[in-house]
Structure 1
């Protein structure tokens, strides 16, 4: 297993605390592996082998344990006597009413519980009802750029990070793609399988969707419009132009289901002058750039939007609350806030003219506060600051510890 210390460092401080540790994220982003890394960490602290109990509910081996009463009775028999048991329950959303099982174990037994799940039902009202104040959640993402470089070092010679960024953009960050040297076609075959299993298991099957072609058209519209603001109404209008009638509410429900499966991330807008969140014209970003290319194919025209997608995901990894900024008629790519701190970020593929330079920097200069401001770009430039605005290569920003 290739270490992912970022998550281990975040989760381990909660060991033995009276909280269920919930790891969520899109399928195949590495949750199960991180869970096994946690098990190894706990063993290193001197816990005995019989204190660690692991179940994967994705496996047919445990299909007969997918009812709450059966699972609760079974797990109670596995617990150690006179010492704490560490329970690791992988893909727990496959168990109906699993939150009742976990709540009962937390109340009645000496346990420390870790669970993973690939659907945001993991964070639904049922959890709020049964586990209020008794859980901490950790969002797991596909590999960051830094993690991607660590994985690639195992089978390839790493070039300059600026050059590696293009490969990371095209191949994405699903760990399975970077376990060995795959061709682009082989990598997209892996990603397409992840996409299909997520769509059909976490959305179509779970929600009993019959009009699968309708869902797939909405997926393709969202994938093709990363970085563009749009609404359910604009999707509905587009589909009607293709003689596919669909109402706004249905579009909204499909988008919500794609969010629930962590395929899409919704990013709303924030009015900087009015200091309020806006509920119209959101943007949607993908869980991983490779999803777009595996489903729609590669297009050079998509590079700018997908670079923006990379930066958005990195801000989320670092626990920022991220919004699109609205300043009059202008747009700031990202306002990212965390623990009272804030940064403003503009992302551009290149600055090839004075007009582009004025647009990218001018919007940030119009913001009258002293929070850090960045212009991130993927072309060659002479570095330095521009009237207090820091200019960075996107690769350097993704690897930086300074924000």
Structure 2
């Protein structure tokens, strides 16, 4: 099949098959723009298989409901091995073929949806030309925060809106399972609370990658491992020309299994060296950055050091989803605490997008010769201002655990002049007075819905 025939076939196949039904996500892209020159470009970034394609379908179905005809919409997914090797001319071929098939779209205005566009060389320059010259509204997706942000800075200064998409939030998971979700400020009956706690346990076990939710637990784990392996192959090894793919896979597994714990690059370096695995500290640091760029995991530095050049060297790490952590944790592990902490981090990450470094950190402080740790500080590390302090503890029945968690928050509230803080638990709900104010113990299902 000639290359141009393949492009035309993909475009025609999509029109004939129609837009699939979708589970509507909460991610808001705003009101669609009427096609015109100099429109803002909508950019969706996130992990592979987290739902970016279906978020485009959701937008297309929205346009259909508003009376826009399907032959004015161009959807093209570049993640297709038949298109390799990718050439910069591919983008122009796709657009020219679409307008040849549907010439009226050029005059009436087209809605262009390009999926996984970062695969194509010089995509930024091409889209800039489209924005400058075509009557169009453009949506693009990609799986790399770094590549998209760097291209956008050079080609689309002030011309794009970037949105991050993650696997299902707990609220979306409940809606997926039940068809609805209660308002976060609703009064919950005991049966409502029991049902939501049941779904919380399910969410911590099964996570938010939709395609895995209808699988058996064993098959879901296999799928999640395949998602991670494919991401490493395409978005780490291939994109950054990593010379040791085995090391990239081994280190990812180590990172994923450490979700919710401190990951020391030096410690892993020494561990791998003792196992005769060729490695350098710089390579491990680079790989950790690549995983984060690909939305596989996130590093959470200490608040006072979050802007340092080596902030990742001993950060906590969190998988992009609690089930992704579970897919790499030891089978015998009792890991509900790590799963819950991972879910809380990802909720904070959604609520405080990474516009600047240090929006979500951990905190280590000393008070009266005692060391304390707070799991999460939401704030601004550049200004050294904290707006929220969050501790995660599955169970505070132990008096020692209770005293430790409250003491850490009390000391931190004093440092940042805050009058309240939060402990996210599996079950407990209480307002606990302390010297500096009040600590709110909140069941995780309620906190995650807020």
TM-score range, shorter chain: 0.7 to 0.9
The C-alpha deviation readout for 1:47-80, integer Å capped at 9, x for no partner, is: 232221111112356x279422342254145352
Aligned match of 1:54 in 75, 83, 90? 75
- CA deviations 1:277-303 (Å, max 9, x no partner) are 453522111011222222344444322
Kept after mapping to 2: 8 A contact 1:148/1:173: yes
- Tell me the residue number matched to 1:333: 375
Structure 1 residue aligned with 2:235:
202
Q: 1:42 to 1:12 in 2, by over 3 A?
A: farther
Scaled by the length of structure 2, the TM-score of the pair is 0.79
- 2:65 aligned residue: 44
Contact kept, 8 Å, 1:269 with 1:277, in 2: the verdict is no
> Which residues in structure 2 correspond to 1:2-401 (within 5 Å)?
2-7=22-27, 10-13=28-31, 15-16=33-34, 18-60=39-81, 63=83, 66-76=86-96, 78-79=98-99, 80-153=105-178, 160-178=195-213, 180=214, 182-271=215-304, 277=307, 279=311, 281-320=314-353, 321-328=359-366, 329-337=371-379, 342-366=387-411, 367-368=413-414, 369-370=417-418, 372-378=420-426, 380-381=427-428, 383-387=430-434, 388-400=438-450
- The alpha-carbon deviation at position 90 of structure 1 amounts to 0.8
Gaps of 5+ in 2: 1-20, 100-104, 180-191, 354-358
**Conserved in 2, the CA contact under 8 Å of 1:12 and 1:38?**
no
- 1:50–1:64 distance in 2 versus 1, CA, 3 Å: farther
Question: Given that residues 324 and 331 in structure 1 are in contact (C-alpha distance below 8 angstroms), is that contact kept between their aligned partners in structure 2?
Answer: yes
| Secondary structure class of the residue paired with 2:75 | strand
Gaps of 5+ in 1: none
Q: Deviation at 1:382?
A: 5.4
Q: For residues 65 and 287 of structure 2, what CA distance do their matches in structure 1 show?
A: 44
Aligned partner of residue 203 in structure 2, secondary structure: helix
Equivalent position SS for 2:108: coil
Relative distance call for 1:13 and 1:362 in structure 2 (3 A) is farther
* Offset at residue 207 of structure 1 (A): 3.0
| Aligned mates of 2:209, 2:92 — CA distance in 1 | 33
With over 3 angstroms needed to count, the CA separation of the structure-2 counterparts of 1:311 and 1:68, relative to structure 1, is same
Query: 1:23: Cα distance to partner?
Result: 0.6
CA RMSD, 1 decimal: 2.6
**TM superposition shift of 1:197:** 1.5
The Cα of 1:124 is off from its aligned counterpart by 4.2
CA distance in 1 between counterparts of 2:146 and 2:119 reads 11
1:342–1:372 Cα contact (<8 Å) kept: no
2:106–2:134 contact (8 Å) kept in structure 1:
no
- Taking the aligned partners of 2:42 and 2:391, their CA distance within structure 1 comes to 35
CA distance in 1, matches of 2:85, 2:108: 24
Contact 2:262 2:315 survives alignment (8 Å) = yes
Runs of 4+ aligned residues of structure 1 deviating over 6 Å after TM superposition are none
TM-score computed with the length of structure 1 as normaliser: 0.88
Alpha carbons of structure 1 residues 218 and 70: separation in structure 2 relative to 1, 3 Å = closer
1:45 shift after superposition: 2.4
Supply the distance in 1 between the matched residues of 2:272 and 2:306 (Cα, whole angstroms).
31
**Residues 362 and 375, structure 2, Cα contact 8 Å, conserved in 1:** yes
In the superposition, relative to structure 1, how do residues 302 and 196 fare at CA in structure 2: closer, same or farther (>3 Å)? Answer: same
Shift of 1:270: 0.8
Q: Who wins on radius of gyration, i.e. which is larger?
A: 2
| 8 Å Cα contact 2:259-2:325 kept in structure 1 | no
What is the Cα deviation at residue 163 of structure 1?
2.2
